[in-house]
Structure 1
Amino acid sequence: MSKIKVVALGGVRENGKNMYAIEVDDQIFVVDFGLKYPDNELLGIDVVIPDLTYLEENADKIAGIFLTHGHADAIGALPYFIGEHPVPVFGSALTVALAKLTLTSNPKAKKFKDFHVITEKSVIDFGKVKVSFFPTTHSIPGSLGIVVQTPNGSIVYTGDFKFDQGAPKMYQTDLSRLAKIGDHNVLALMSDSNNAESPYPHASENDIYDHIEETFHYQDGRIIVASVANNIQRIQQVLNAAAQTNRRVVLTGREVERVVKTAIRLKALELPNDNILASTKELKDLKPEETVVLETGRMGEPLKSLQRMANNKHRLVHIHEGDLVYITTTISHSMETMAAKTRDMIYRAGGEVKAISDDLHASGHANKDDLQLMINLLRPKFVIPVEGEFRQLEAHREIAADAGIPDDHILMPNVGDIISYDKGKLHISGHVDAGNTMIDGIGVGDIGNIVLRDRKMLAEDGIFIAVVTIDRKKKKIVSKPKIQSKGFVYVKTSKDLLNESSGVVEKSVQKQLDNKSFDWSTLKQSVRDDLSRFLFDHTKRRPVILPVIMEVNQNSAKRQ
């Protein structure tokens, strides 16, 4: 009997950052290697990836990284690991090509070459363990589920999936393959929970295309389409609808251009005619009724780009009277406030807004019926809901129970939990260090709670700077404290407050100078504490306080 562990390093009780380590004896099989985009509270943070400590400490045991599809929540964290730990990476042709694009900005990772292209027919033999794949329906071609076949049964990871009987051929799920997998002892099913709360049936992709084409047909002016850069299926539908209505499509971002070129090269995306794409230079010469602008935004987030368009700050497009902004991506619950604000800004600029989600339930993830069908096809002994926030995992747990899975055979791990196989049962047996690693520019993990707290304080209450020069030997203040404020109060109307603040600083510094046991850190902390209490009493605000203390004497001047 093999020793089996499943470690959720991300992707549970959160949206995105999917990463799971399946450990069989002395081999680790990592399925997905994703990131997530930060919440509004994470000021200045670009992306968030899982804590990679566990994998770094066990890098010599990793047999491979297996990717289900080419979206950032499945491939985005690769550049932060494989540059230092070059383990093999497996995925479909399009997934591998998109994964390579993520490496270009990382000097070490972009040299990585150990990629392996697999298909749904591939079987990789690792001795006691065999890894195979099955095609799934998602918003991008080349999506695959993963089967890790162990001596004790198979562990199946679906990745992002849904069932759509009308899906185009390259997006279709192989139901017979799933049934065959279910005939061979599925120990555990790790299944997508992102849409588990929804009881509504999906709109088929055929219905979505009809919605897009009808919208294009009845719009007389310019159409600005907001989408996600890696949603290849939606981009294909936009191109086809544009061709049907005699429009040309302008790609506004470098990221979407790279994705489109890659997809065309791999025949995952087809141009309906040779003239369908227009360059950004041609945009000003196109008539409004001939124009579709495809905006995906930085890192695939279109809302902020739409706001820049509405405020005339976008480098290429400004929204004006007659424009239709057509949102073809499903907005997550966490972004609803921002989406409402974006709509308001567009209307103020003179444009109109329409969204597919206003009329159809469109999602690339499994709903209740899909999840139960997957369970019934695979017939697992245990179900592990993954890929979703807690309420979504809980909804998935109820769905699995309704499908006949006993309550004690449904496990809901937290990030870092270890699920172990022992005496024929899976159970949570321990925990590894796991959590978030925040990426800010080129910094990886160097931003912590203290820095984020300071950023929040700066954003909310500004900064208050007190500069004072002292002569420590003579125990006196050489010059009266000077006060500067940024983002806290309007200086011209707050002169009395600033003058009183100067007096508070002066008293605080003099008190420390008179103290026999003088200490620089104590002096600065005393100024912070006294000034903070004074400012809060008078304004009920707490700015970041920065005391700058300089020391002079008869022979030299130096800054401390």
Structure 2
Amino acid sequence: MSNVKIVALGGVREFGKNMYVVEVDDVIFILDAGLKYPETEMLGVDFVIPDMSYLVENADRVAGVFLTHGHPDAIGALPYLLSEMAVPVFGSQLTVELAKIRIKEVDGSKKFDDFHIVDESTEIDFGAAVISFFSTTHTIPESLGIVVGTENGNVVYTGDFKFDPAVGEGYKTNISRLAEIGTQGVLALLSDSANGLTNLQSASESEISDKIFDTISDWDGRVIIASVAGNLARIQQVIDSAIKLGRYVAFTGQDLDLIVKTASDLGKLRIDDDKMIIDPKDINKYEDKELLILETGRMGEPLKTLTDMATGRHRFVKIKEGDLVYTVTSPTISYETKVAKTENIVYRAGGIMKMLSSDLRVSGHANSRDLQFLLDILKPKNLMPIQGEYRELQTHAEHAMEVGMLPENIFLAKRGEVITFNAEGNFEPNGVVSAENVMIDGSGVGDIGNIVLRDRKVLSEEGIFIAVITISKHEKKIISKTKVHTRGFVYVKNSRNLMKEAAIKVDEKVKAYLAGDNFDWAEIKSEIRDTLGKFLYDQTKRRPVVLPVVMEVRQNDFRQKRHVKPKKKVEKVEKTEKID
């Protein structure tokens, strides 16, 4: 019997950041390496990746990274993992090509080239386990589920999936392959829960395609489509509709050109007429009724870019009267407020905003009936709901019990919780590993923590108050009295008395401190910070970030020489007569 462990480093009790570890005896298999976009309170953070310290500490035991699909929630953290450890990466052809785009964005992983193309017919024997795959339906072609075959039975990871018989080639789920995996015996199922709160059927891809075509055809002005860059099914539908209607298409998303070119070169995205694709710099050469602009935004998130378009900050497009902004992706619950604000800004600019999700139920994830159907096919002994907030995981568990699974065979894991299987093959918690959020801010990895985020929040809400004073530590006196400055706290012209009183308070505190016997730089700054903080709160009931700056003047033990400015030397020039 094999010793099997499962650890979720991300993707449980949260949406995105998928990364799961399956250990069979002493061999580690990493399933996906994704990121998630920051929540509202994560000010200035670009995105969040899993804590990989457990993997780095055990790098010699890692057999490889196995990717389910090419979206950021599955491959976005891969460059940071490969910067720490060079291990083989396995995925479908499109997934690998999209992963290569990502790893070139990070210096530490640019030279990595140990990729292996797999499909659902691939089997890889690692001794401790046999890895195989199955095709799934998602919003990007060549999505795969992963099977870790052990002596105890299969550990099956679905990745993001749904069931839709109306999808095109490259998107279809292989039901017979799923049935085959089920007959082999499934020890544990790690199953997508992102859409498990509803039993309503999502619209089929053919219905979505018809709706996009109808919406565009009914509009006489420019059409600006907002989509996620990785949703190639939706991008294909938009391009097809535009070309049928004789509209030229301009790609303005930062990631979109590379993704479209990669998918097109591999035959995963079809463009029937290349002449209909134009450079965004040439938008003004065409009439509004001839244009369709496809925007995906930075890191595939288009909402911020729409705001830039509406406020005139976008380099190619400014939303104007008569524009239709059509959002063809379904934002998560955490983005609902941002969607509402974006819609308001678009309307102020003169445009009209519509959402595909207002007319059709759109999702790339399985609903509760799909989840139960999968359970019926695979008949797993144990279930670990993944990819979702806690309420979604809990609902998934309830749906599993409706089809006969026992509560003791369902485990709602926490990040970092180690799950082992006992002699009977049942879940058993067995310790934890480090699995905190690692925040990426520009080129910084993990250097942003809760304290920094708290300070950013205070700065954004209360502002900053700076007090600068110059002292002589040797003579124990103030050389230059306090000067105060503020940003984002109060309007200075209307608060001159407050500023003067604050400066006087600092002078008094520093003078009293210098009169004492001891001197410590940290202590004097702390005294100023406490005094100012209390005074400002008493006066305004607000708590800005107080930044004391204490400078020291040191005495020279030599005389200052007087520098005399040399006189300018003037040469005497004799005057001569000019002879004609």
Give the TM-score range, shorter chain: over 0.9
Q: Where does residue 426 of structure 1 map in the other structure? A: 427
Instruction: Give the residue type in structure 2 aligned to 1:33.
Output: A
C-alpha contact (below 8 Å) 1:129/1:150 kept by paired residues? yes
Q: How many residues align?
A: 557
Of 272-281 and 186-195, the range deviating more from structure 2: 272-281
**Matched residues in 2 for 1:505 and 1:556: separation?**
30
- TM-score w.r.t. the length of structure 1 is 0.98
C-alpha contact (below 8 Å) 2:80/2:108 kept by paired residues? no
**Matched residues in 1 for 2:254 and 2:142: separation?**
22
SS in structure 1 opposite 2:480? strand
Per-residue CA deviation, residues 57-92 of structure 1 (Å, 9 max, x unaligned), is 011101110000000000000111213311000000
Q: Please say if 1:346 is aligned against 2:346.
A: yes
Q: How many Å apart are 1:287 and its aligned residue?
A: 1.1
SS in structure 1 opposite 2:322? coil
**Matched residues in 2 for 1:313 and 1:92: separation?**
38
In the superposition, relative to structure 1, how do residues 556 and 185 fare at CA in structure 2: closer, same or farther (>3 Å)?
A: farther
SS in structure 2 opposite 1:400? helix
Q: Where does residue 325 of structure 1 map in the other structure? A: 325
Per-residue CA deviation, residues 507-547 of structure 1 (Å, 9 max, x unaligned), is 22122112212111110001001100110111111111111
Q: Where does residue 504 of structure 1 map in the other structure? A: 505
Matches within 5 A, 1:156-305: 156-305=156-305
Per-residue CA deviation, residues 7-39 of structure 1 (Å, 9 max, x unaligned), is 010000011100000000010000000011111
C-alpha contact (below 8 Å) 2:213/2:241 kept by paired residues? yes
Instruction: Give the residue type in structure 1 aligned to 2:552.
Output: E
Q: Where does residue 565 of structure 2 map in the other structure? A: none
Of 508-517 and 522-531, the range deviating more from structure 2: 508-517
**Matched residues in 2 for 1:42 and 1:155: separation?**
35
Instruction: Give the residue type in structure 2 aligned to 1:48.
Output: V
**Matched residues in 2 for 1:86 and 1:399: separation?**
40
SS in structure 2 opposite 1:183? helix
SS in structure 2 opposite 1:429? strand
**Matched residues in 1 for 2:254 and 2:452: separation?**
31
Q: Where does residue 94 of structure 1 map in the other structure? A: 94
Instruction: Give the residue type in structure 2 aligned to 1:202.
Output: S
Instruction: Give the residue type in structure 2 aligned to 1:535.
Output: L
Q: How many Å apart are 1:281 and its aligned residue?
A: 2.5
Q: Where does residue 18 of structure 1 map in the other structure? A: 18
Matches within 5 A, 1:335-414: 335-414=335-414
Q: How many Å apart are 1:554 and its aligned residue?
A: 3.2
Matches within 5 A, 1:436-475: 436-475=437-476
**Matched residues in 2 for 1:529 and 1:501: separation?**
12
Q: How many Å apart are 1:504 and its aligned residue?
A: 1.1
**Matched residues in 2 for 1:174 and 1:86: separation?**
32
Structure 1: gaps spanning 5 or more residues? none
**Matched residues in 2 for 1:485 and 1:195: separation?**
47
| CA RMSD, 1 decimal | 1.1
Q: Where does residue 9 of structure 1 map in the other structure? A: 9
Q: Where does residue 122 of structure 1 map in the other structure? A: 122
Which one has the largest radius of gyration? 2
**Matched residues in 1 for 2:409 and 2:507: separation?**
67
C-alpha contact (below 8 Å) 1:4/1:23 kept by paired residues? yes
C-alpha contact (below 8 Å) 1:144/1:158 kept by paired residues? yes
C-alpha contact (below 8 Å) 1:189/1:382 kept by paired residues? yes
SS in structure 1 opposite 2:201? coil
Instruction: Give the residue type in structure 2 aligned to 1:523.
Output: I
Q: Where does residue 571 of structure 2 map in the other structure? A: none
**Matched residues in 1 for 2:360 and 2:224: separation?**
19
Q: How many Å apart are 1:272 and its aligned residue?
A: 2.0
**Matched residues in 1 for 2:102 and 2:514: separation?**
56
C-alpha contact (below 8 Å) 2:193/2:385 kept by paired residues? yes
Matches within 5 A, 1:77-92: 77-92=77-92
Q: How many Å apart are 1:556 and its aligned residue?
A: 7.7
Per-residue CA deviation, residues 143-164 of structure 1 (Å, 9 max, x unaligned), is 0000000000000000000000
Q: Where does residue 578 of structure 2 map in the other structure? A: none
Per-residue CA deviation, residues 329-362 of structure 1 (Å, 9 max, x unaligned), is 1011001011001101111111111111001000
Instruction: Give the residue type in structure 2 aligned to 1:39.
Output: E
**Matched residues in 2 for 1:391 and 1:252: separation?**
36
**Matched residues in 1 for 2:136 and 2:121: separation?**
13
C-alpha contact (below 8 Å) 1:239/1:276 kept by paired residues? no
Instruction: Give the residue type in structure 2 aligned to 1:83.
Output: S
Per-residue CA deviation, residues 352-400 of structure 1 (Å, 9 max, x unaligned), is 1111100100000010011001100100000000011111111111111
Q: Percent identity?
A: 53
**Matched residues in 2 for 1:221 and 1:556: separation?**
78
SS in structure 2 opposite 1:99? helix
**Matched residues in 1 for 2:144 and 2:347: separation?**
41
In the superposition, relative to structure 1, how do residues 73 and 556 fare at CA in structure 2: closer, same or farther (>3 Å)?
A: farther
C-alpha contact (below 8 Å) 2:25/2:128 kept by paired residues? no
**Matched residues in 2 for 1:54 and 1:479: separation?**
53
Per-residue CA deviation, residues 286-327 of structure 1 (Å, 9 max, x unaligned), is 111111000000111111011111111111101111100000
Instruction: Give the residue type in structure 1 aligned to 2:270.
Output: E
SS in structure 2 opposite 1:504? helix
C-alpha contact (below 8 Å) 2:254/2:296 kept by paired residues? no
